[in-house]
Amino acid sequence: MSTERPKPYISRHYEPVADEITGHGLTVNGTLPPELNGRYFRNGHNPKPGITPSHWFRGAGMLHGLRLGNGRAEWYRNRWVKTPFLEDVPFTGVELDVSVAGTNIIFHAGKYLALQEANLPWQVTSELETVGVYDFGGKLTTSMTAHPKEDPVTGELHFFSYSPFPPHLTYYVASAAGEIIRAEQIEGAGPSLMHDFALTAEHAVFLDLPVVFNHEEHSGIPYRWDSNYRARMGVLPRTGPAGITWFDVDQAALLHVTNAYIDRQGRVVVEGPRYDRAAWENSWKWWVGAPGYGVTPDAGSTFHRWILDPATGRATDAPLDDLVTEFPSINDDFTGAVNKYSYSIAFPGAGHDDYSTIKFDTETGERQLFHHGADRMPGEAVFVPAAGGTREDDGYLLTIVSDLKADASQLLVLDASDLRKDPVASVELPRRVPAGIHGHWIADQEGSL
């Protein structure tokens, strides 16, 4: 009998589902807020039956979606993104269309795009059926990050492509209408893992940190921690003459940026979950299912702040909290602006016993936790503004919860202004939804129908 531990990214909360289903007229507990007229879509890795990927990030992408409207949960459906990768086509790193398409899904300029950073986007319909590869009318000839940022004022979509080979970094801007209006190779970037970036009202901020391309890494994701690599963050003006300013920072990794903004002193502030080397390598063991993963449960990313000062050319940083957190989100209306609140998943560790949704106040340091209970794991919290809201946290958090004991899932609607309250509403889903990665709320008034 084999004693090998099951791969963590395809077991327990992450156990894949084997088929595509559609359910109508879902049971709602409580009352869905009237603002929730639209679609909640979420992406994640879900390999087909019989396929065990070498790395969590190499599982085929599957979309899960709910249509909410007029106080009802009209449908749930899940669909694989039907790219060549789904059929286990070997990927050499050259074919831009052979995408996992399993990291994120966005809506921009009337199009739903499933994203994975090594490839081109894949377009899907409002009911999650695959349309095909999308290249912005032929103007995108590189990969596209899975973490584009939409400017809440202009509607422009800012994104980038990174590569282990020169040019290492290319910055793009697409207009609100979906036309690429800027494409610029960024000088000085290196072959590091640039999963995310940041946007302020005046800058794009890029992360050139010590997880670096290494051809000897055979997990399928050829990057490793390199303590000799010069860790930097680069600040690029969004307008005016081209030219990036690089700031040396401490040896740390950052997968996801919570937000960035310019403070009153003209400094660029970047916040997000920080990994030191021990935390990164422990996480990597989990992602590849290597022996020893999980042996140091307190080794995880923690909420952190970096301050990049153009007047001195120096960077400083400081911790904001010690809970193990990831998958940060904010009220997207504050993207690039000074924000007070952020939301994350709090993982077991640092004295915390279960999975929780956390709200963090960056001004006071106060945290609020919604404890989901034993064997229940939430996903990324997606913020939806409340109608007529005047405060940053006037709104709701949407998250799909995996419940192992009940072998079921719910969409929870939490009051973003106070996580100490009971859920505003919950929607019973027709199956347990595996833990996933990123998603978005697409309101009807954005033209999504």
Spell out the domain ranges in the chain: 8-446
- Segment 353-388, tens digit of pLDDT: 789 999 999 999 999 999 999 999 999 999 999 999
Query: In Å, what is the CA distance from 449 to each residue of 42, 398, 445?
Result: 17, 20, 9
42/127 Cα distance (integer angstroms): 12
The CATH T-level fold of domain 8-446 is Methylamine Dehydrogenase; Chain H (2.130.10)
**What pLDDT does 446 receive?**
45
User: How far apart (Å, rounded) are the C-alpha atoms in residues 394 and 418?
Assistant: 9
Q: Give me the pLDDT at residue 1, please.
A: 42
CB atoms within 10 A of CB 21: 11
**pTM (global) more than 0.85:** yes
In whole angstroms, give the CA distance from residue 353 to residue 299.
14
Say if residues 323 and 307 touch (Cβ distance below 8 Å). Answer: no
Closest CA to 360 of 351, 352, 369: 369
Instruction: Identify the pLDDT of residue 290.
Output: 86
Q: Does the pLDDT of residue 241 top 50, yes or no?
A: yes
SS3 state of residue 297: coil
| CB within 8 Å of 254: residues ≥ 6 apart | 196, 207, 209, 272, 273, 274, 275, 304
Instruction: Give the confidence band of 94 by pLDDT, cuts at 50, 70, 90.
Output: low
Alpha helices in 70-217 (DSSP H): none
Is the four-CA dihedral 342, 343, 349, 354 of positive or negative sign?
Answer: positive
The pLDDT assigned to 218 comes to 86
Count of CB atoms within 10 A of residue 50's CB?
7
pLDDT at 297 over 70: no
How does pLDDT run across 159-194, given as a tens digit for each residue? Answer: 999 999 999 999 999 999 999 999 999 999 999 999
Cβ partners under 8 Å of residue 404, min gap 6: 12, 13, 375, 376, 432
List of residues 6+ apart from 139 with CB closer than 8 A: 179, 180, 183
Structure token pair of residue 283: 């996480």
User: Is residue 289 within 8 Å of 7, Cβ to Cβ?
Assistant: yes
Rounded distance between C-alpha atoms, residue 12 and residue 118, angstroms? 27
In degrees, rounded to 5, the angle at the alpha carbon of residue 176 between the alpha carbons of residues 174 and 182 is 20
- Alpha-carbon distance 91 to 62, whole Å? 18
Question: 243-266: per-residue pLDDT in tens?
Answer: 999 999 999 999 999 999 999 999
Confidence (pLDDT) at 291: 77
What residues have CB less than 8 Å from 284, skipping those under 6 apart?
A: 219, 225, 290
Q: Which residue has the tokens 């006037």?
A: 394
Please tell me the predicted confidence (pLDDT) of residue 239: 87
φ and ψ at 235, to 5 degrees? -110, 120
Checking if the pLDDT of 229 tops 70, the result is yes
Question: 95 in helix, strand or coil?
Answer: coil
Comparison of pLDDT for 98 and 449, the residue scoring more: 98
What is the percent of the chain with per-residue pLDDT over 70, rounded to a whole number?
A: 93
Q: 309 is written with which tokens?
A: 């000062």
Q: Long-range contacts of range 22-26, CB-CB < 8 Å, 24 or more positions apart?
A: 22/75, 22/76, 22/77, 23/75, 23/76, 23/77, 23/429, 23/430, 24/74, 24/75, 25/72, 25/73, 25/74, 25/75, 26/66, 26/73, 26/74, 26/75, 26/76, 26/427, 26/428, 26/429, 26/430
pLDDT at 14 over 80: yes
**Contact of 384 with 35, CB cutoff 8 Å:** yes
Mean pLDDT of the chain: 93
User: What is the H or E stretch that residue 284 is in?
Assistant: helix 277-288
Taking 80 as the threshold, does the pLDDT of residue 86 lie above it? yes
- Confidence grade of residue 300 (pLDDT, cut at 50, 70, 90): confident
Helix (H, G, I), strand (E, B) or coil at 357: strand
Q: How many helices (H) and strands (E) does the chain have?
A: 1, 34
